[in-house]
Amino acid sequence: MRVVIIGGGAVGSSTAYHLARDPAFKGSITVIERDPTYRIASSSLSCASIRQQFSTPVNVAMSRYGFQFLEQAHDLLAVGDDKCQGYLFLAGEDGIATLREVHAIQCAAGADVALLSPGEIRDRFPYMNVEDLAGGTLGMSSEGWFDGPGLLAAYRRKARALGVTYIAQDATGLTREGDRVTGVMLADGAVVPCDLVVNSAGPWSARVAAWVGIDLPVRPRKRMVYVFKSQADLAGFPMLIDNSGNFLRPEGPGYICGRSPDDGEPDPDEPPLEMEDAMFQDYVWPALAHRVPVLETLKLTGGWAGYYELNLFDFNGFIGPHPACANMIFATGFSGHGMQQSPAVGRAVAELIVHWGVREPRSFAARHHAPRRGAQGDRTRDRLK
Would you place residue 39 in the very low, low, confident or very high pLDDT band (cuts 50, 70, 90)? confident
Position 261 scores a pLDDT of: 86
Q: What are the residues whose beta carbons fall under 8 Å from the beta carbon of 33, sequence distance 6 or more?
A: 7, 8, 9, 12, 166, 167, 168
What value does the mean pLDDT take over residues 367-380? 39
Whether 297 and 152 share a structural domain: no
Q: Is residue 7 part of a domain?
A: yes
Whether 135 and 241 share a structural domain: yes
CA dihedral 317, 318, 320, 323 (to 10 degrees): 170
Do the Cβ atoms of 145 and 239 come closer than 8 Å?
A: yes
What value does the mean pLDDT take over residues 195-210? 96
Whether 241 and 99 share a structural domain: yes
Describe the crossing of helices 96-108 and 57-71 by its angle, rounded to 10 degrees: 60
Q: Is residue 165 part of a domain?
A: yes
Instruction: Say yes or no to pLDDT of 75 above 90.
Output: no
Whether 225 and 209 share a structural domain: no
Domain end marker among 308, 326, 343: 308
What value does the mean pLDDT take over residues 168-197? 96
Whether 170 and 238 share a structural domain: no
Position 271 scores a pLDDT of: 73
Instruction: Say yes or no to pLDDT of 379 above 50.
Output: no
Amino acid occupying residue 316:
N
Position 275 scores a pLDDT of: 86
The size of the chain, in residues, is 385
What value does the mean pLDDT take over residues 21-26? 94
Instruction: Please give the tally of structural domains in the chain.
Output: 2
Whether 240 and 268 share a structural domain: yes
Instruction: Say yes or no to pLDDT of 178 above 70.
Output: yes
Would you place residue 59 in the very low, low, confident or very high pLDDT band (cuts 50, 70, 90)? very high
Would you place residue 354 in the very low, low, confident or very high pLDDT band (cuts 50, 70, 90)? very high
Range of weakest confidence among 38-52, 317-331, 354-368: 354-368
Position 84 scores a pLDDT of: 74
Q: What percent of the chain has pLDDT over 90?
A: 73
Instruction: Say yes or no to pLDDT of 380 above 50.
Output: no
Do the Cβ atoms of 128 and 280 come closer than 8 Å?
A: no
Instruction: Say yes or no to pLDDT of 368 above 50.
Output: no
Would you place residue 357 in the very low, low, confident or very high pLDDT band (cuts 50, 70, 90)? low
Domain end marker among 258, 281, 308: 308
Whether 244 and 322 share a structural domain: no
Whether 330 and 225 share a structural domain: no
| Residues 8, 156: Cα–Cα separation, whole Å | 8
Instruction: Say yes or no to pLDDT of 267 above 50.
Output: yes
Query: Cα dist. 361→35, 201, 330, 365 in Å?
Result: 30, 21, 13, 6
Q: Is residue 61 part of a domain?
A: no
Would you place residue 360 in the very low, low, confident or very high pLDDT band (cuts 50, 70, 90)? very low
Q: Is residue 70 part of a domain?
A: no
Residue of 218, 198, 193, 223 lying closest to 207 (CA atoms): 218
Instruction: Say yes or no to pLDDT of 373 above 80.
Output: no
Whether 351 and 238 share a structural domain: no
pLDDT tens across 211-254, in order?
999 999 999 999 999 999 998 889 899 999 999 999 999 998 89
Range of weakest confidence among 91-100, 195-204, 253-262: 253-262
Q: What is the mean pLDDT of the chain?
A: 89
Residue of 201, 143, 134 lying closest to 385 (CA atoms): 143
Whether 233 and 350 share a structural domain: no
Range of weakest confidence among 34-48, 142-156, 184-198, 362-376: 362-376
Q: Is residue 266 part of a domain?
A: yes
Range of weakest confidence among 11-15, 286-290, 360-364: 360-364
What value does the mean pLDDT take over residues 190-202? 97
Whether 92 and 196 share a structural domain: no
Query: In CATH, what number is assigned to the domain containing residue 317?
Result: 3.50.50.60
Taking the alpha carbons of 131, 136, 139, 143 in that order, is the dihedral positive or negative?
Answer: negative
Query: In CATH, what number is assigned to the domain containing residue 127?
Result: 3.30.9.10
Position 359 scores a pLDDT of: 45
Per the structure, the complete domain to which residue 127 belongs is given by 85-141+220-308
Q: Is residue 73 part of a domain?
A: no
| pTM, rounded to two decimals | 0.89
Whether 131 and 224 share a structural domain: yes
Q: Is residue 59 part of a domain?
A: no
What's phi and psi for 184, nearest 5 deg?
-110, 125
Instruction: Say yes or no to pLDDT of 362 above 50.
Output: no
Q: Is residue 77 part of a domain?
A: no
Domain end marker among 276, 308, 340: 308
User: Helix or strand or coil: residue 22?
Assistant: coil
